[in-house]
Structure 1
Amino acid sequence: MRAVVWFRAAAVLMLLFAVGHTYGFLAFRPDTAEGRAVWEAMNSVRLSAGRETFSYGGFYTGFGLSISAFDVFSAWLAWTLGSMAGAGEMRARPIGWAMFVLQCVGFVLSLRYFSIVPAVLSAVAALLFLVAAVSVRPAKITAG
């Protein structure tokens, strides 16, 4: 199969990852008393950095939404890599390899700190980027 298809499949998966992460992240509410206590403490305990004051909950929210933004960017990048691969741009290959490595790191981190669902999504994305990167071929030159 052509690299463009693999990169586009990775783009769709990354977009689904972004939507799922954003929804799950914003909709999550702890269901135990201990969890609610931590949640409330994160949002009420403040810290100072210079002249600014922040809550741990704010940092948590900011980091979570940063991940969603990164996933949207990754979807765009994968789609763009598909266009590059379709045009025979060999520069898509090393970027595809970098995305493969990045998803492998995401897989390990998900297993360690999150759950099996994001780990599986990272593994599938890694596989898509791997196959896409390997599938990139130079443009055929036609005699004219």
Structure 2
Amino acid sequence: MLRFLPFLSELDLRHNPLTLGFYAILSQSVDLTRSETSGETIDPSPFLMQHQDKESDEMFQRSMTEDTAVARRCYDILIGEQCPQMAHLDGLVFDIKHKLRHDLIWERMTKLGLLFEAKYTGNSDPTLDS
């Protein structure tokens, strides 16, 4: 589905079955405002989640199991490949180069056969290369 949305620049899929365990639970309070006409307390953005800060996310990632870290990195790489204009993913600034760094998670993904080195022969469609 994402391949049909290459122009997508912001996406937030936190706290659903696909991303369960990838992010810390948000515990920030949301500012509520009062309606001037009725005096009722209303949430100005009931369906928007707060952005996360990089430092808190990095600390949370260090506490993840290796399997969860691999799943999150796969998710990040998939989104980055299908949506090259992605700027914000799940409340964080998205940097595909950072997601493609060769670290322990990358090594684990390679050992599991989740990554491979693409061989291009000049075709515009890499699936045609043998």
TM-score normalised according to structure 2 size: 0.30
Query: Whose RCO is larger (CA < 8 A, sep 6+)?
Result: 1
TM-score normalised according to structure 1 size: 0.28
Greater helix share, structure number: 1
